[in-house]
Structure 1
Amino acid sequence: NSFCTLLGRPTEGRMADWEAQYEKDLATITHSGPHEVGAEQQALNRQVFEMLKPTEILPFDDIHKISDCDLIYRFLIAQRWDADKTAAELIEYMRWRKENNMNDILWEKHPDEIVEVLPFYQGIDNDGNPIFYDRPSPAKIGELLKTYDRAQIIRGHFVMMEQGRRLCKAMNRDRVTCLFDMAMLNMSIVTNPSAVGLLKECSKLDQKYYPENMRTMMITNSGWTFGSLITCIKPLLDVRVQKKIQKLGTGANLHKDMAQFADPQQVPECFGGLAPRTPSEVAIKVLDVSGLPPRTPPQPV
């Protein structure tokens, strides 16, 4: 019995700690991001939970999960509340995390050239969610592809995704917001098809392995490329993801439009806001932007 307890498995007549936590979360969670959850959604969550128990992938070995219950809700939403598909996707998700050693990705050494093009996090939106800033450049990605293979660059992208999840856990939030600057996406979307293909592949992987991770995507400097790019990637985006995209105005309208989602004082000047470019205290604490994050999982502050 003591051995079972050490493994986190229940002894006879005793519920494991992770099962008790699941029951508590199921009873208290009322929203997953903007999505309300009630009795019907709770029943589907429990159905998935019971389907997964025999597979022994519970509790999920994911250091940046909010909780097992929360993770099930995210995948349920992505699978339009289909319990069977959700269970299958979660099994695949945990297989992928284990095979790719995702729990340790933030402690790997990645090439400086790849790190330099990764999005960064700074500030919060009007709901308190951390914001990340992305200004993809097909020209730069094209240069990276001459030196590094696609898998290595995509792994760098996953570093950014895990950083966001780590920040959310520390900040007691469950989504991130993105400010997506399209200034570099001009004719390069035509002249760098391999780089654009990589961007599209990252988008597809994010929807599969990080469903319901983003609250809002603010688009700036869209110009004529907005319609062209949306035409390219729209088939890859679920309808629920498309609804999160908000195009911001230019000039005097930029800050007015931005303020609907985030105070311009939270947004760095290099992305059209009014703040200096500096990481937040919580980012320094849980990500250690000058080096490697602490090994201990972040706790809500």
Structure 2
Amino acid sequence: MTLIVDSETVSAAATAPESTVDAVEATLEDDKEPQNPLTEKFTEAEWKALKEFRSTLPETFKEAFPEQDGAGSTPYNLWGVTISPLKPKDARVSVVLMKFLRARNLNPAEAKDMFISTLQWRKSFKVDDVMKEKFPEDIFGKLGITYGKDKDGHPIAYNLYGANKDLDAVFGDTQRFLRWRVAFMEESIALLDFETVDQMVQIHDYEGVSMSDRTQASKNAASEASSIFQGHYPEFLAKKFFVNVPSFLTWIFWIFKPFLSAATVAKMSVVGSGPKVIGTALLPLIPANQLPKKYGGDADGF
């Protein structure tokens, strides 16, 4: 682990009288930022925004949990990272907070609002309880799978939309589907260390999906899930591939493309069908031994 300090403080230490050395050393200690490979990539503008955002954490937690005594000083665990409002200097905490800042163009006030909204949503949605819930294996067992890593160590999450043709079973209970989908997302995030990796690759496989599969219930569930992930899971996507995409879904994607940010579009790729075509798109990023044969790799897969 390396540390950074403010250059002005270093300069002051070099010229300070001996009588003030102890005070300067204490200041240097206070200015040190714990670092890891991810924080070392932060820009100067990102560090500035982070320090401002971080300074508001006691107030932020009070606003997020107004009914909780001592909320402004109570540590909170988010995605396996403990955030202490009064002692927030931690490299992994910096990585988590930076997600909210980047999602809001480094605007600390807007990042704060998003962070509060996320904390309150997690409480109302009862995410901890969702993670303990047992979902029917015959309904959801094949819909979401994490398998392998890309060349940068990002875990790969597969969403297999055609794996269960019983749409009433999958989407009939919208809230149960959303709980399962959030649980799958949380399980995928648990594979991130927030030291070297804080994002994942997603592969959305539409094999076997037809127009008849787009029921009102499935569209409502997809819309609600998208809203949850956009609002409460910022900057977790390294790359997203849509594979085995039917022509009607390709058309829909291009219709909505103008409404997506350039950064989001840059992370998304619509790929054709078959191992050779899919492999051509995925193998530059994913080692063959980490990619199932049905997607053009060498792994037995799932």
TM-score after normalising by structure 2 = 0.72
What is the CA–CA distance in structure 2 between the aligned matches of 1:90 and 1:170, rounded to whole Å?
A: 17
* Cα distance, 1:106 vs structure 2: 2.5
Where in structure 2 are there 5+ consecutive unaligned residues? 1-29, 63-71, 83-91
Partner of 2:168: 143
User: CA RMSD of the aligned region, Å?
Assistant: 3.1
The answer (yes or no) to whether the contact 1:138–1:195 under 8 Å persists in 2 is no
The answer (yes or no) to whether the contact 1:114–1:153 under 8 Å persists in 2 is no
Letter of the 2:197 counterpart: R
Partner of 1:210: 233
What is the CA–CA distance in structure 2 between the aligned matches of 1:23 and 1:91, rounded to whole Å?
A: 27
* Cα distance, 1:271 vs structure 2: 4.1
SS class of match (2:285): coil
Query: Higher Cα Rg: structure 1 or 2?
Result: 2
Out of 197, 220, 226, the position equivalent to 1:197 is 220
User: What pairs with 1:149-164 in structure 2 (closer than 5 Å)?
Assistant: 149-164=173-188
User: What pairs with 1:1-301 in structure 2 (closer than 5 Å)?
Assistant: 26-29=33-36, 31=38, 36-54=41-59, 55=62, 56=72, 59-65=75-81, 67-137=92-162, 140=165, 142-144=167-169, 148-169=172-193, 172-188=196-212, 191-231=214-254, 234=257, 237-250=260-273, 252-277=276-301
TM-score after normalising by structure 1 = 0.72
The answer (yes or no) to whether the contact 1:218–1:247 under 8 Å persists in 2 is yes
Letter of the 2:47 counterpart: Q
Q: Percent identity?
A: 20
Where in structure 1 are there 5+ consecutive unaligned residues? 1-21, 279-301
The answer (yes or no) to whether the contact 1:126–1:263 under 8 Å persists in 2 is yes
What is the CA–CA distance in structure 1 between the aligned matches of 2:103 and 2:187, rounded to whole Å?
A: 21
What is the CA–CA distance in structure 2 between the aligned matches of 1:120 and 1:82, rounded to whole Å?
A: 35
Bigger relative contact order, structure 1 or 2 (CA pairs below 8 A, ≥6 apart)? 1
Letter of the 2:125 counterpart: N
The answer (yes or no) to whether the contact 1:110–1:156 under 8 Å persists in 2 is yes
Deviating 4+ runs (over 6 angstroms): none
SS class of match (1:168): coil
What is the CA–CA distance in structure 1 between the aligned matches of 2:79 and 2:278, rounded to whole Å?
A: 37
1:61-99 CA distance string (max 9 Å, x none)? 224348321121001111111111100111111112223
SS class of match (1:169): coil
The answer (yes or no) to whether the contact 1:249–1:257 under 8 Å persists in 2 is no
The answer (yes or no) to whether the contact 2:250–2:270 under 8 Å persists in 1 is no
Partner of 1:10: none
